[in-house]
């Protein structure tokens, strides 16, 4: 596992996360009633103190009622204001020490406010889903909410038996008692808090690629009335998975699931081992296939290879955008060069004030970041040539599997595959606002 762990607060979201410790495991047990939208939860966090002793530490948790907190089995002093849970243990925690935190909370979950609207737990017409990027995870569980702090997760959800519960990872058990069912999922891979996905709804479960046939197990959870259209729209996902494994290296997780919510979503959402789509992304004519490719590619770029902080978001979105172009090229559609030409023409008509390597919080989800990110990857391909480029890409995904990365680390990685200096190329695409010329092979 590669790691470039950051020890500073995220410059875009200084109130989220606490770099003085790291969590290596969450065990979360939820009881959820969809009708009244009532959630009660218990979380046990196993964590390690950083290089300095801790007299207090912080977790992020939305405005729930906190019932009890324990640190190493003892009650601490704590305050809970503004979505931040400040905990002062009975005894200071020594540098490097392992410790556990247990939190009990309850209330009516709702999205947390952000510059992009509500994020996190969203109550649907019948059920719920979680879409947390970038800071919505505290809307439903207490966490050290920073992308570089990656942990394994076990998530247990008890809810009325009519509902299907889907979370990222492997379904360990499903146990029905009276009118409720408890679903327990295990995600062993190191996972960022914003990538913990959850969906509760009325779904039919179908297999897209069966376990035991040598490929990646792929399941889908779909409202029954959308199954005919879904079957056409997602028919090429297994081939997409095989193509991306050839290009990026082995799929980095144990399984992959997709959920189709029974209502429209603005955009699909990636989570660890899971992608969430809206009913508007299912049209029966493969109208959203590029988005299917985009979300699948995030399992390598963003989910397994994770950014150290949100300044580096182009390393997630630029690579997922370029994966759309690669899938088009490999599946008989338009080649990447043609798609790059279209993207460049579009960007040339727009403001030239976005710096890809540090776009600022306001522009981190701007469409220009996605398009310019894809163009940057294409410019690197043109400079290196296909052989070295695809070796570079595969090695980036495999050597940093489950790790944490930065733009500077990526630039150094690219330089190792270049026969001529690429500093100027990377500087113009990553660190300057003006749009460089269209790259050509």
List the binding residues for Zn(2+): 294, 298, 317
CA–CA dist 422, 418 (Å, integer): 7
Q: Within 13 Å of residue 193, how many CA atoms lie on the same side as its CB?
A: 32
User: Residues 321, 336: contact at Cβ < 8 Å?
Assistant: no
Secondary element (H or E) of residue 153: strand 151-160
Q: What is the rounded radius of gyration, in angstroms, for the C-alpha atoms of the chain? A: 22
CA–CA dist 100, 109 (Å, integer): 25
CA–CA dist 47, 246 (Å, integer): 36
What is the residue whose two structure tokens read 């925690």? 93
CA–CA dist 321, 315 (Å, integer): 10
Any idea what DSSP says for residue 63?
S
> Greatest CA separation found in the chain?
68
CA–CA dist 389, 431 (Å, integer): 21
- What are the DSSP calls for 178-230, one per residue? TTEEEEEEEEEEEE-GGG--EEEE--EEEEEE-TTSSS--EEEEE-GGGHHHH
- Binding residues are 294, 298, 317
- Does residue 99 sit in helix, strand or coil? strand
């Amino acid at each position: 596992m590669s790691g470039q762990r950051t020890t500073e607060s995220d410059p875009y979201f200084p109130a989220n996360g606490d770099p003085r410790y790291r969590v290596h495991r969450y065990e979360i047990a939820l009881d959820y009633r969809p009708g009244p939208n009532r959630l009660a939860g218990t979380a046990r966090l196993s964590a390690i103190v950083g290089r300095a002793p801790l007299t207090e530490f912080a977790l992020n948790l939305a405005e729930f009622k906190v019932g009890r907190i324990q640190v190493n089995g003892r009650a601490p002093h704590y305050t809970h204001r503004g979505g931040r849970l400040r905990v002062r243990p009975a005894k200071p925690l020594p540098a490097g020490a392992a410790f556990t935190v247990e939190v009990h909370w309850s209330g009516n979950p709702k999205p947390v406010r952000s510059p992009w609207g509500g994020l996190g737990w969203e109550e649907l017409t019948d059920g719920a889903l979680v879409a947390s990027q970038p800071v919505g995870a505290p809307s439903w569980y207490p966490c050290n909410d920073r992308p570089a702090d990656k942990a394994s997760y076990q998530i247990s959800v008890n809810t009325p038996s009519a509902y299907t519960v889907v979370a990222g990872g492997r379904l360990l058990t499903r146990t029905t008692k009276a009118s409720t069912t408890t679903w327990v999922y295990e995600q062993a891979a190191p996972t960022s808090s914003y990538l913990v996905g959850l969906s509760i709804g009325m779904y039919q479960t179908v297999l897209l690629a069966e376990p035991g046939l040598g490929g990646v197990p792929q399941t889908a959870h779909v409202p029954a009335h959308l199954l005919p259209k879904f079957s056409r729209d997602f028919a090429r996902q297994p081939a997409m998975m095989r193509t991306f494994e050839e290009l990026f290296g082995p799929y980095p997780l144990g399984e992959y699931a997709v959920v189709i919510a029974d209502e429209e979503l603005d955009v699909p959402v990636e989570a660890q081992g899971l992608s969430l789509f809206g009913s508007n992304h299912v049209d029966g004519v493969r109208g959203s296939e590029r988005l299917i490719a985009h979300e699948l590619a995030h399992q390598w770029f963003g989910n397994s290879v994770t950014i150290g902080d949100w300044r580096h978001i182009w390393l997630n979105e630029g690579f997922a955008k370029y994966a759309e172009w690669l899938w088009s090229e490999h599946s008989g559609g338009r080649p990447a060069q043609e798609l790059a030409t279209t993207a460049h023409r579009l960007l040339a008509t727009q403001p030239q004030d976005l710096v890809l390597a540090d776009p600022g919080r306001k522009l981190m989800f701007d469409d220009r970041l996605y398009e310019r990110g894809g163009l940057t990857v294409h410019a690197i391909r043109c400079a290196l040539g296909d052989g070295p480029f695809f070796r570079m890409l595969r090695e980036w995904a495999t050597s940093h599997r489950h790790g944490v990365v930065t733009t500077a680390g990526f630039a150094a990685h690219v330089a190792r595959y270049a026969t001529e200096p690429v500093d100027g190329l990377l500087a113009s695409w990553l660190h300057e606002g003006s749009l460089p010329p269209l790259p050509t092979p």
